[in-house]
């Protein structure tokens, strides 16, 4: 917190950050689990309508960062603003309101496995958007399932879907409420190259269509290449590189360039 | 997962069945305790309620017609027992009815017994009336009496058995028996003991009669009484057998003599 | 050694504290608007209706066996006629509620523990929370209320089936009409027998749901924690059932006498 002000001005000067309003603004984020310092000093911001890709080794704490953003994990230290609101200072009600504006795609898809795909889609519509017109709900569900190509699996149970289908269904469930900010946790991991590409294009499409802001965590370079406006590389609890996909790819840093081999 | 209407129906039936059991149980138990029918109150005063408790039954002509609603100590020698009785038996209970505390058996629950009355008046009891309380017969006292009688009987029997023994052994004839001082004294003693015992027995029989009847119904003493009955039966049968044998023997003898 | 004991105690207190705060969360969500009726009904179906066969069969057999075992003893006292009374009192006051609760702890608490545990592991609970929905209201409140409502009903039906089992056992040897039998059973029961037993089962139901939810909801994210949640839910719920049983007996004795 102490160095925030100075750093902020520095960053702004350097990167001419005046392009748009900042949706996410993070300074000095620290988080440790027990003795393990997972995040040491995380600073970044995401502008409205931007797709930011986060790269990093497995277990480096990428998921922890976005979990901090939605208040699932409370950070040890640091300033953390989403839509201009300090997340750790929010009351339960405010946090709920904030979360409604954010879509979070879990690494595992996290479909509710006691419900059919259709009921999975309806769940946030009824409970979060408080919709009660059944026709409208059905229309919306069908629309979003069509966009991820799952319309014919609408009445299947999650256990009857393949891994890729589950991921797409999870994506559809996050999209169905039209969030302003999307947090994708490894949207393409475990999928074949063709499906991966489809999903990556879908992510890009969503950004275009709904003007959403996104953070995409991935190990998949193709996905990063397709979706990224900007790339952040996480190592040892800090972002060690930042720039467009091409910039980061041509980085001299051995660790950073090792991602692109 | 959506609940199908079949599931809803089954859940509903299940819940209804469970609730029905609850309601029925409450109704039946409550009915027995007279909660859900019209009741009226009467009370009586006792020196000692002998462990009667609130909720114990009140019986009229052997039928449960109500419960003990309250027991309160009025002063150091008086306890007030309030009964709540079914309205529909009120017409059978007259103002001079008596209430007594009894039990379902030696170990059983205490209960209040209502005797109908009607000897001096034919007026029905009214709500809040006081009935005459007959103080309970103490089980301890009864047991004491029983042991007393048994002791007396013991002495009597041993005296008798001595005599019978002697008679059996053919010691002397009746004249000798009468002349014999010792025997005469024996008999005298036995007689006087017998007299007092019989007086005792007489005094207690009346009370015992009722209580023993209760005791016979009681499960603990049932075995005892059954055994006794069996013994008596056996003795009877033995004597019959003996008689038959004797007569048979005589019958054999007489033709032989002839 | 002493250290270990201290650690154990501290862990125990920490767990108690956690359970208490979980209870607080449950309680707060209980009165929030938007009660999940449909999920509640579904849970009642899963918990109540689907456990009925198991509970009913067990209760029937218990009643049967109890009657067969009691008979010789009572005949020895010449008190065979006390058989319905002994059955009614023991089944309604103690055996029915406790056996049903233990079976439900084994079936329901472990089921809830495993279900919520696996939802936790597969991030479904997190997803619900992050989406802005209320997982406690949807998952926990409905389940706890369902067990609280269903276990007493299961127990009541179990009692009836247990008494029916006793009737069958009596009729193997003697001949008693069903009407006389139930009349005798009912007449040997008072409100002071029925009500504490019934209230007890409400607590049993609550504890079964609460422990199941607590263990599942707070399980770790490893796969093995699903089994652990199910297992520890059964153990803790069973233990609680006996503790509550003892407390209720004491309290009701104080109140009634
Ligand atoms: N809730 C938690 N409790 C304890 N430790 C945690 C928790 N969440 C994450 N960690 C630890 O933090 C570290 C980073 O975890 P994280 O899930 O962020 O990794 P990741 O970068 O997303 O890796 P992957 O690419 O495999 O998903 C891991 O070592 C993990 O053990
Ligand atoms: Mg991760």
Query: Nearest-CA residue of chain C relative to B56?
Result: C190
Most distant CA atoms of chain B, gap in Å: 111
Is residue C43, in this structure, part of any structural domain at all?
A: yes
Domain interval for residue B65: 38-137
B21 and C79 within 8 Å at the Cβ level: the answer is no
Q: How far apart are CA A245 and CA A229, in angstroms?
A: 7
Question: Mean pLDDT for chain B?
Answer: 76
pLDDT for the residue C107? 95
A124 and C131 within 8 Å at the Cβ level: the answer is yes
Do A122 and A239 belong to one domain?
no
Do A56 and A67 belong to one domain?
yes
C123 and A108 within 8 Å at the Cβ level: the answer is yes
A110 and C133 within 8 Å at the Cβ level: the answer is no
Chain B contact partners (≥3 CB pairs within 8 A): A, C
Q: Residue C224 C-alpha to ligand 1 middle, in angstroms?
A: 18
pLDDT band for C229, please (50, 70, 90 cuts). Answer: very high
pLDDT for the residue B222? 62
Residue pair C192/C252 in contact (Cβ under 8 Å)? The answer is yes
Q: How far apart are CA B181 and CA A128, in angstroms?
A: 117
pLDDT for the residue C236? 94
| A&B contacts, CB < 8 Å | 5
Do A85 and A106 belong to one domain?
no
C186 and B11 within 8 Å at the Cβ level: the answer is no
Q: Residue A246 C-alpha to ligand 2 middle, in angstroms?
A: 24
Q: Count the domains in chain B.
A: 1
Do A172 and A237 belong to one domain?
no
Q: Cα-flanking dihedrals φ and ψ of residue C197, to 5°?
A: -65, -40
**Does residue A58 have its Cβ closer than 6 Å to ligand 1?**
yes
Contacts of A155 in chain B (CB under 8 A): none
Classify each residue of A146-171 as buried b or exposed e, where b means 16 or more C-beta atoms within 10 Å of its C-beta. Answer: ebbebeebbeebbeebeebbbbbbbb
Do A77 and A111 belong to one domain?
no
CA-proximal residue: ligand 1, atom 16 (nearest): A61
Tokens 């075995």: give the residue. Answer: B223
User: In Å, how far is A95's CA from the nearest CA of chain B?
Assistant: 28
Is residue A46, in this structure, part of any structural domain at all?
A: yes
Q: How far apart are CA A45 and CA A43, in angstroms?
A: 7
Is residue B63, in this structure, part of any structural domain at all?
A: yes
Q: Count the domains in chain A.
A: 2
Is residue A191, in this structure, part of any structural domain at all?
A: no
Q: How far apart are CA C42 and CA C104, in angstroms?
A: 17
**pLDDT tops 90 at residue C166:** yes
Q: Phi-psi bin for B199: left (phi > 0), alpha (psi -120 to 50), beta?
A: alpha
Give the Cβ contact number of residue A233 at 10 Å: 22
pLDDT band for B257, please (50, 70, 90 cuts). Answer: very low
Do A79 and A48 belong to one domain?
yes
Domain interval for residue A109: 102-178
pLDDT for the residue C74? 86
Over residues B71-87, mean pLDDT: 88
Q: Which of A101-110, C174-183, C220-229, C247-256 has the lowest mean pLDDT?
A: C174-183
Q: What is the DSSP string of B101-135?
A: EEESSSSS-EEEEEE---SS--PBP-TTEEEEEEP
Ligand nearest to the CA of A58: 1
With the most atoms of ligand 1 within 8 angstroms of its CB, the residue from A31, A32, A54, A64 to mutate is A64
pLDDT for the residue B143? 65
Residue pair C235/C110 in contact (Cβ under 8 Å)? The answer is no
With the most atoms of ligand 1 within 8 angstroms of its CB, the residue from A31, A32, A33, A189 to mutate is A33
Relative to the CA of A64, which ligand 1 atom is closest?
18
pLDDT for the residue A14? 38
% of chain B with per-residue pLDDT over 70: 69
Do A84 and A210 belong to one domain?
yes
Give the Cβ contact number of residue C232 at 10 Å: 20
Is residue C192, in this structure, part of any structural domain at all?
A: yes
End-to-end Cα separation, chain C, in angstroms: 46
Is residue C55, in this structure, part of any structural domain at all?
A: yes
C-alpha of B186 from chain center: 37
Relative to the CA of A73, which ligand 1 atom is closest?
1
Q: What ipTM was estimated for this complex?
A: 0.83
Condensed to tens digits (0 to 9), the pLDDT of residues C7-31 reads 788 888 888 899 999 999 999 999 9
Question: Mean pLDDT for chain C?
Answer: 90
C153 and B19 within 8 Å at the Cβ level: the answer is yes
Over residues C137-156, mean pLDDT: 95
C41 vs B134: which has the higher pLDDT: C41
Question: What tokens appear for B243 in the block?
Answer: 């008689």
pTM: 0.72
pLDDT for the residue C6? 74
**Does residue A56 have its Cβ closer than 6 Å to ligand 1?**
yes
Q: Please report the sign of the dihedral spanned by the C-alpha atoms of residue C7, residue C12, residue C16, residue C18.
A: positive
Contacts of B1 in chain C (CB under 8 A): 42
DSSP state of B94: B
Is residue B228, in this structure, part of any structural domain at all?
A: no
Do A126 and A244 belong to one domain?
no
**Does residue A39 have its Cβ closer than 6 Å to ligand 1?**
no
Is residue A187, in this structure, part of any structural domain at all?
A: no
pLDDT band for B159, please (50, 70, 90 cuts). Answer: confident
Ligand nearest to the CA of A67: 1
Most confident of B23-32, B110-119, C100-109, C176-185: C100-109
Is residue B248, in this structure, part of any structural domain at all?
A: no
Is residue B187, in this structure, part of any structural domain at all?
A: no
Q: Cα-flanking dihedrals φ and ψ of residue B60, to 5°?
A: -130, 120
Chain A contact partners (≥3 CB pairs within 8 A): B, C
Ligand nearest to the CA of A68: 1
| B&C contacts, CB < 8 Å | 76
Is residue A235, in this structure, part of any structural domain at all?
A: yes
Is residue C14, in this structure, part of any structural domain at all?
A: no
**Does residue A62 have its Cβ closer than 6 Å to ligand 1?**
yes
pLDDT for the residue B254? 54
% of chain B with per-residue pLDDT over 90: 6
| Short-list B14, B2, B24, CA closest to C149 | B14
Length of chain A: 261
Residues 6+ apart with CB under 8 A from C140: C25, C26, C29, C116, C213, C217
pLDDT for the residue A104? 92
Q: Residue A254 C-alpha to ligand 1 middle, in angstroms?
A: 24
pLDDT for the residue A139? 92
Q: Count the domains in chain C.
A: 1
Do A81 and A124 belong to one domain?
no
pLDDT for the residue A16? 38
C102 vs C173: which has the higher pLDDT: C102
Domain interval for residue C125: 36-256
R_g (Cα) of chain B, nearest Å: 31
Contacts of C187 in chain B (CB under 8 A): 32
CA-proximal residue: ligand 1, atom 5 (nearest): A33
Over residues B145-163, mean pLDDT: 80
| Short-list A149, A112, A164, A161, CA closest to C131 | A112
Pairing of strands A51-56, A102-105: unpaired
pLDDT for the residue A12? 39
Q: Does B219 touch chain C (CB under 8 A)?
A: yes
Q: How far apart are CA B244 and CA B235, in angstroms?
A: 14
Question: What tokens appear for B81 in the block?
Answer: 């027992």
pLDDT for the residue C8? 81
Residues on A contacting B at a C-beta cutoff of 8 Å = 114-116, 119
Q: Mind listing the pLDDT tens digit of every residue in chain A (261 residues)?
A: 444 444 444 343 334 344 457 889 999 999 999 888 999 999 999 999 899 999 988 888 999 999 999 988 889 988 999 998 898 888 888 998 899 999 999 888 889 988 999 999 999 998 888 888 889 999 999 998 988 888 898 899 999 988 888 888 998 999 888 899 999 998 888 788 888 888 899 889 888 888 899 999 988 888 999 899 999 999 888 898 888 888 888 888 888 888 877
């Amino acid at each position: 917190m102490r160095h925030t002000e100075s750093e902020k001005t520095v960053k702004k000067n350097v990167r001419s950050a005046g392009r748009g309003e900042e949706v996410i603004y993070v300074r000095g984020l620290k988080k440790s689990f027990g003795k393990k310092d997972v995040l040491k000093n995380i600073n970044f911001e995401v502008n409205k309508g931007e797709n930011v890709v986060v790269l990093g080794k497995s277990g480096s704490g990428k998921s922890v960062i976005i979990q901090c953003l939605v208040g699932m994990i409370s950070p040890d230290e640091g300033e953390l603003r989403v839509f201009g609101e300090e997340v750790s200072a929010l009351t339960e009600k405010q946090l709920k309101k904030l979360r409604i504006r954010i879509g979070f795609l879990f690494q595992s898809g996290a479909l509710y496995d006691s419900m059919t795909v259709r009921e999975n889609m309806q769940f946030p519509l009824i409970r979060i958007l408080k919709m009660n017109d059944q026709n409208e709900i059905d229309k919306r569900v069908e629309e979003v399932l069509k966009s991820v190509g799952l319309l014919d699996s609408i009445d299947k149970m999650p256990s009857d879907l393949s891994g890729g289908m589950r991921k797409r269904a999870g994506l559809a469930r996050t999209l169905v409420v039209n969030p302003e900010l999307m947090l994708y946790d490894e949207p393409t991991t475990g999928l074949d190259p063709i499906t991966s590409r489809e999903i990556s294009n879908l992510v890009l499409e969503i950004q275009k269509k709904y003007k959403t802001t996104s953070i995409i965590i991935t190990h998949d370079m193709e996905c990063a290449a397709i979706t990224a406006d900007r790339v952040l590389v996480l190592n040892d609890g800090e972002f060690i590189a930042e720039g467009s996909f091409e910039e980061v790819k041509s980085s001299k840093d051995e660790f950073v360039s090792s991602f692109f081999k | 997962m959506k609940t199908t209407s079949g599931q809803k129906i089954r859940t509903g039936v299940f819940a209804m069945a469970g609730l029905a059991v609850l309601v029925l149980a409450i109704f039946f138990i409550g009915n027995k305790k007279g909660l859900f029918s019209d009741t009226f109150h009467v009370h009586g005063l006792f020196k000692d309620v002998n462990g009667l408790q609130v909720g114990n039954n009140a019986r009229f002509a052997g039928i449960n017609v109500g419960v003990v609603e309250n027991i309160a100590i009025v002063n150091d020698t008086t306890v007030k027992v309030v009964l709540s009785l079914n309205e529909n038996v009120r017409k059978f209970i007259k103002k001079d009815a008596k209430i007594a505390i009894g039990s379902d058996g030696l170990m059983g629950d205490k209960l209040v017994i209502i005797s109908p009355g009607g000897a001096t008046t034919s007026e029905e009891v009214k709500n809040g009336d006081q009935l005459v309380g007959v103080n309970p017969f103490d089980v301890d006292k009864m047991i004491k009496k029983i042991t007393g009688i048994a002791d007396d009987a013991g002495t009597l029997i041993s005296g008798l058995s001595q005599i019978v023994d002697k008679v059996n052994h053919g010691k002397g004839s009746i004249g000798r028996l009468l002349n014999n001082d010792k025997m005469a004294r024996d008999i005298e003693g036995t007689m006087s003991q017998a007299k007092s015992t019989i007086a005792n027995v007489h005094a207690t029989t009346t009370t015992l009669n009722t209580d023993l009847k209760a005791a016979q119904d009681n499960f603990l003493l049932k075995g005892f009484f059954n055994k006794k009955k069996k013994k008596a039966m056996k003795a009877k049968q033995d004597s019959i057998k003996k008689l038959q044998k004797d007569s048979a023997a005589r019958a054999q003898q007489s033709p032989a003599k002839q | 050694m002493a250290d270990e004991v201290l650690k154990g105690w501290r862990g125990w207190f920490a767990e108690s504290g956690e359970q208490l705060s979980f209870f607080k969360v449950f309680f707060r969500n209980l009165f929030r608007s938007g009660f999940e009726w449909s999920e509640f009904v579904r849970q009642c179906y899963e918990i109540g209706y689907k456990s009925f066969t198991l509970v009913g069969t067990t209760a029937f057999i218990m009643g049967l066996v109890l009657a067969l075992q009691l008979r010789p003893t009572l005949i020895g006292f010449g008190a065979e006629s006390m058989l319905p009374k002994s059955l009614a009192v023991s089944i309604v006051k103690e055996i029915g509620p406790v056996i049903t609760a233990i079976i439900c702890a084994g079936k329901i608490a472990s089921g809830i523990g495993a279900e919520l545990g696996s939802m936790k592991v597969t991030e479904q609970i997190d997803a619900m929370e992050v989406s802005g929905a209320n997982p406690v209201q949807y998952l926990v409140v409905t389940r706890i209320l369902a067990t609280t409502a269903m276990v007493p009903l299961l127990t009541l039906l179990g009692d009836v089936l247990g008494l029916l089992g006793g009737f069958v056992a009596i009729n193997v040897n003697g001949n008693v009409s069903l009407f006389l039998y139930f009349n005798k059973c009912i007449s040997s029961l008072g409100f002071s027998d029925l009500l504490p037993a019934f209230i007890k089962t409400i607590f049993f139901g609550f504890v079964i749901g609460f422990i199941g939810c607590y263990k599942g909801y707070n399980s770790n994210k490893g796969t093995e924690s699903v089994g652990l949640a199910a297992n520890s839910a059964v153990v803790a719920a069973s233990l609680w059932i006996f503790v509550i049983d003892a407390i209720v007996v004491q309290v009701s004795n104080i109140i009634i006498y």
